[in-house]
Structure 1
Amino acid sequence: MSSIIDGVDQRTNLAGTNRLELLLFRLGTAQLYGINVFKVREAIACPALTKLPQSHPNIKGMASIRGQTVSIVDLSQSIGRRPIQDMAESFVILAEYNRSVQGFLVTSVERIINISWSDVLPPPAASGASSYLTAITKFEDKLVQIIDVEQVLAEVMGIQADVSSELVNNYSEHNQEIRQHILVVDDSSVARNQIKRTLEQIGLEITLAKNGKEALDMLKAWKANGEDIYEKIALMISDIEMPEMDGYTLTSEVRNDPAMKSLPILLHTSMSGTFNQALVSKVGADKFIPKFSADELAAAVQSMLK
């Protein structure tokens, strides 16, 4: 099964074109789910698992994969559906999120599809299992649901969003009379709240947008109202993977507009890989950091604002 994602490194040319490739999988029903191929290392038959006492109930166990110990998370149970029972017939998608490798237990792995981010839409109003969705799309007239993996991991692993007192004090000492305004763009509600909480600790005001299109519409509306973008906001922090318009395309659109082309932009993403650094220069962003370290984010923002 791992062969279906062989050559993933060759697909990096998709980034920056507002397109993505999704690995489709199922969780015991006919419903299709998707995960961005960029985050996937491989898909394998479920290996032998070692159950750890007092671990989170959504963690099926630990597995040794290519010399690395990996937590295996039951993705079905994590989004409020029935736990996966037949381990022998199940698969594990190894993915890299937020600086670490996790295994997501699924019942089947289907295929890879290539689509435009403009065809990926925000999910309907959150309720029940849909509260774990970050986006939806269609493929061959079938609905594909994209799970908010960051929310799943925050609940299972926990994420620290407290900034060290040293950074808080350092910023307060140098910015006592300045209340700077930051535009934060991320399709994950968990990620938006983590970033908001982090930056508010160092005295910043935050405006939130759910995707690149919403953020660009905000910027254009401010410009149309006669507001100076550089006085309105001091910095934009954007995720890369987002429905309707990704972070690379958003950055390119900003850079191509004379009224906002010099706006400082920090790309902040759970995606990993050296291609991100190259694309920062390609699309014109100022900096890239992976999610999620509260101190690293706060320090990067402080540095850019200076």
Structure 2
Amino acid sequence: MDAFQKEIDERTNLTSSNMFELLLFRLGGVTADDPGELFGINVFKIREIVPMIPVTKTAGTQSPIMGVVDIRGQVISVIDLSAIAGCVSKNGPNILLITEYARHTQAFAVESVEEIVRLDWSQVLTAESSAGSEIVTSIARLDANADSGGGRLVQVMDVEQILNMISPVVHTLSEASSKKHRTELKPGAVVLAADDSKVARALIEQGLTDLGIPYIMGKTGKETWLQLLHMLAEAEREGVPIEDKVAMILTDIEMPEMDGFTLTRNIKGDPRLKHLPVVIHSSLSGSANEDHVKTAGANGYVAKFAIDELAATIQKALA
């Protein structure tokens, strides 16, 4: 038990060093004889991995929903990732990845699980600058010295986008909530926001617009960090406090190049920036992650995707 707890603590503490662990799996290829490419999912989002069990196909179920399974008394929807990715599985789905995203539990059916690899977020590049599909949020290079070329590449799935395709997220605030949480910033100040998921960015942008809050949106923690440093340099040249330029930072946790914890620690570790409020907005829910939010120094945490809670948290941080 002690060894098991030590492994959990070690894995959790990776967030203090801009590192994470990726579970690699396959979905099949273009044809039944093609093993297909490697895909990845953050280990933190996986509750357990179980062999395929009988799936009950509920009335009206359509692909990519396969049906539901009973896992120790909990009825969970099963999503066929091969169907979503357009892959042909040679042997059919053999494994269920039980995942927790944004307070919801679902099972992803995959063909096979390969291994778990430990990576630095600097080894992960956003897929939007390449030919990535809408369900791939980033590309991970498995070989640390991949600068010379030839390293293995893994497609990291945008699970938030996949779930939104199946059950669309409500992006708009209610009129009552918009009025209740509306907050005025200093003239010229903006909110800096960072998220690598398209659907999350759309929700954040709509929410900030509904609240009448100007913003600058970034796709990675590094992009937002560089934007913040640029605005700090401008403020110093003009002889004004950074608060005249930036009202707060709203950041995801999982992002290519620099994660949200590292971004938060960078801000809180700089005497010129440490007074800026930072709110973490993440699908990684649970007490362990909320504890890390406090350790990193963030001023607030809200789980995706609860637009009214996000608005309330932003208002509290800005106040």
- What TM-score do the two structures reach when normalised by structure 1? 0.90
Secondary structure of the structure 2 residue equivalent to 1:223: helix
How far residue 229 of structure 1 moved from its aligned partner, in angstroms, is 2.3
Q: 1:147 aligns with which of 127, 145, 157?
A: 157
The match for 1:197 is 206
Kindly provide the amino acid, as one letter, of the partner of residue 14 in structure 1: L
Tell me whether 1:61 sits opposite 2:67 in the alignment: yes
- Does the Cα contact within 8 Å between 1:276 and 1:288 map onto a contact in 2? no
How many residues are paired up? 298
The match for 1:3 is none
1:176/1:269 Cα in 2 relative to 1: closer, same or farther (>3 Å)? closer
CA RMSD of aligned residues (A): 2.3
- Does the Cα contact within 8 Å between 1:24 and 1:34 map onto a contact in 2? yes
How far residue 52 of structure 1 moved from its aligned partner, in angstroms, is 2.2
CA distance in 2, matches of 1:164, 1:177: 25
- Does the Cα contact within 8 Å between 1:161 and 1:293 map onto a contact in 2? no
Q: 2:233 aligns with which of 224, 229, 235?
A: 224
- What TM-score do the two structures reach when normalised by structure 2? 0.87
- Does the Cα contact within 8 Å between 2:185 and 2:213 map onto a contact in 1? no
- Does the Cα contact within 8 Å between 2:301 and 2:313 map onto a contact in 1? no
How far residue 160 of structure 1 moved from its aligned partner, in angstroms, is 1.4
- Does the Cα contact within 8 Å between 1:77 and 1:84 map onto a contact in 2? no
The match for 2:314 is 301
Tell me whether 1:165 sits opposite 2:179 in the alignment: no
CA distance in 1, matches of 2:226, 2:137: 20
CA distance in 2, matches of 1:150, 1:86: 27
Secondary structure of the structure 2 residue equivalent to 1:63: strand
CA distance in 2, matches of 1:143, 1:10: 25
Kindly provide the amino acid, as one letter, of the partner of residue 170 in structure 1: K
How far residue 86 of structure 1 moved from its aligned partner, in angstroms, is 4.1
CA distance in 2, matches of 1:85, 1:144: 20
Kindly provide the amino acid, as one letter, of the partner of residue 52 in structure 2: C
CA distance in 2, matches of 1:176, 1:235: 10
The match for 1:15 is 15
The match for 2:299 is 286
- Does the Cα contact within 8 Å between 1:219 and 1:229 map onto a contact in 2? no
CA distance in 2, matches of 1:212, 1:280: 15
Q: 1:90 aligns with which of 75, 91, 94?
A: 94
- Does the Cα contact within 8 Å between 1:135 and 1:146 map onto a contact in 2? yes
- Does the Cα contact within 8 Å between 2:24 and 2:117 map onto a contact in 1? yes
Tell me whether 1:261 sits opposite 2:274 in the alignment: yes
Gaps of 5+ in 1: 1-5
Gaps of 5+ in 2: 1-5, 29-34, 144-150
CA distance in 2, matches of 1:27, 1:224: 47
Identical-pair percentage = 39
Kindly provide the amino acid, as one letter, of the partner of residue 121 in structure 1: L
Kindly provide the amino acid, as one letter, of the partner of residue 21 in structure 2: E
